[in-house]
Structure 1
Amino acid sequence: MKEVLQMGIFNLFSKDNGKDVEEAFEKEKAAEKEKAIEEVKKAHENLRWPVVSRINKINIKDAECEFLEDTVTLERKNEIGVLIYEEDIDTNVIKELTSQELLFLLTTLEAYHKESPLPEYEKNHRKVYNEVLNRIRNAETLFVLYDAGTRYPFIDGGFVNVYFEKDLASKAAALYMKQFRKIVVNEVKNISDASLGKGFFDYLYYIGIENLIIDNGAYKAKFKRNEIVMAVGDWKGNTGNEPVNPALNFTMLDFITELSWPVNYEQKSEVLKAKEARMVACIKKGNFIVPMQHEGDVEVLEDGRMKPGKDTKFKFPVIKTKEGKEYLPIFTDGLEFSKKLNGSGWNAAVFKYADVIKFAKDKDGIRINPDGQGIVIPKERMEAI
């Protein structure tokens, strides 16, 4: 009897029995996961695969129902869409997707998770989103919608539109033109490594654009400029002496874009007033590059601004209009200064707006970024700001 009992205990804890228990546990665990996934799928059963959405919410007569053709076939949607239910989407599978298929997967993840939570959503979403960012960073060229009037990136609802492919960008531009926007597609060289110099996303920092959309009009994703490159001011070795006014540049662009749009709507005057007020507030707080020549001593401060001596005399250039008016040109940053006066023989000094007012007292006003936004502030308004 004792031998039989010992044999029973031995069999119970044998390697074979342990393996069977482990396999049974894994099967039970897999069955539970499968059941959970089926429950999620059931919660999604009334959903259909996403389709491309409108480029914006603007309603223009005869153009409000304009959509681009779907860029992902139903067959591919059926193959790609089911990936959202996987516990850990294979990175290699993600990398094999085209850009539009990748953005379709991202869109599907977000839409279905919003309806009913997906298992491992955060992990899978981060994987897919990171691949989108990596493709933007690593693209040799990108295609950007520019405003033909301002010659700057076109701002729509605070966002700039960037595209992987020229064909899609051109189709999106055509949609905007039906909304009476003057849009051109510009190919930009993409530099995301600070050691190689300043690239397109660095330029966006100077003009205050932080919000972007990739492939708007088709399957798309919103992203931040600083997810691609750091701010110029954070570069190693940056002295911080170079004046930058990203917020001011953005508010000027935003105001001009709205002002030049030849479409009237019920609250346009209120919108323009609000955008102008934001711009004026930024002007008041800004530091500006002022072209000048001086006689006498000046002290250059740590932030690049000049402190004149008691007997220092300044001479400034002027911009003359056809009507005979004279304006003092001032600049928000070195990029704008270089457009107009680089190599002209004029020195560049940094001054606060309060100082600029003093320099322009014998002028008809000031003009900010003459070869850029070209904002004119008449003399009678200068001190009122």
Structure 2
Amino acid sequence: MSKLFQNYKRSSIEFVKAEGHNLFDNQGKKYLDFSSGIGVTNLGFNQAVLNQVQEQLQQIWHTPNLYQNSLQEEVAQKLIGDRDYLAFFCNSGAESNEAAIKLARKYTGKTDIISFQNSFHGRTYGAMSATGQTKIQAGFEHLLPGFSYAVYNDLASVKELISDKTAAVMLELVQGEGGVVPADVQFVKALSQLCQEKDILLIVDEVQTGIGRTGSLFAFEQYDIEPDIFTLAKGLANGLPIGAMIGKRKLSSAFGYGSHGTTFGGNKLVLSAASCVLDQMAAEGFLSSVQANALYLKEASEQKLGGLTNVSAIRGLGFLLGIQTSKNLDETVQAARDRGLIILTAGQDVIRLLPPITVSPSEIDQALAVLQDVFA
């Protein structure tokens, strides 16, 4: 009998080893990983990251945030560049979104935040209250007050919810858990303009879309906007627990001494991994290669799966791809796993592909051959 809470629906297999883009279970079976640990090991099981972490372990792996931390400054510089932002490091996507909510409310002195139906921002109380899915919130009432949910890609629905209490609008540029639904470019640009006109902060949740996942370091770069706050986690340290909240320098007055904090956030071990990840992202030709291979995945998926009667849509951005299907999701995931391919689900009827962004065309072909078999 397990000594664990049963809040996860776990498969019976256990992974005990990894190499590159492959996982191995405790029976020695090999799997091609098209989940990246739910969008975390963006670079696969990367030797450079491993070397960097091992080197840091030999020195020191944790100091509290009571002392200077040059690695935090280093990683913040690599994330921010010439943009006039400041960084706060924490441990997860939910924590980074909690920090964003606190910063927006404290800076504006207002209480209300507009997010979107079918959004997902985390499972802590603030992040869960911002999440526009009743199945995530069920049983945890009462939620934090002040949150309302507009219709995704519908500017009029946002305008209807704005009041003199509105501090911020918060959105994902691709709704991942909500079914892999990308935001419309014109909607996002109009939303950004509306927020500027109304003096409302724009928060972009890049927990899943950031760190090269969509083909650029941050997805908002493809939408030609500059959010007031954006949040990161998942792929930033390629498997080590990290989160980051990045906000414009003008907001710094709201996060003075004692306003927010974390014990483990931004410790030297995870920051050493993040620094290595960002160096690889910045290498010449890296992101252009990601874009080319992601386009290959999209086009090959449409060619090989798009005509099937049980596939109704293929959509996404970069290496965040959704296949909408009438097939049973659990059975589909299991059938792929039986054939040595790890995939995910999203929403009610979507198979989600989140391969490492370093995946090769031949590995894409291998995965799609499995999916052809499974969907057929």
Q: TM-score, normalised by structure 2?
A: 0.22
Structure having the higher helix fraction is 1
Q: Which has the higher contact order (CA 8 A, sep 6+)?
A: 2
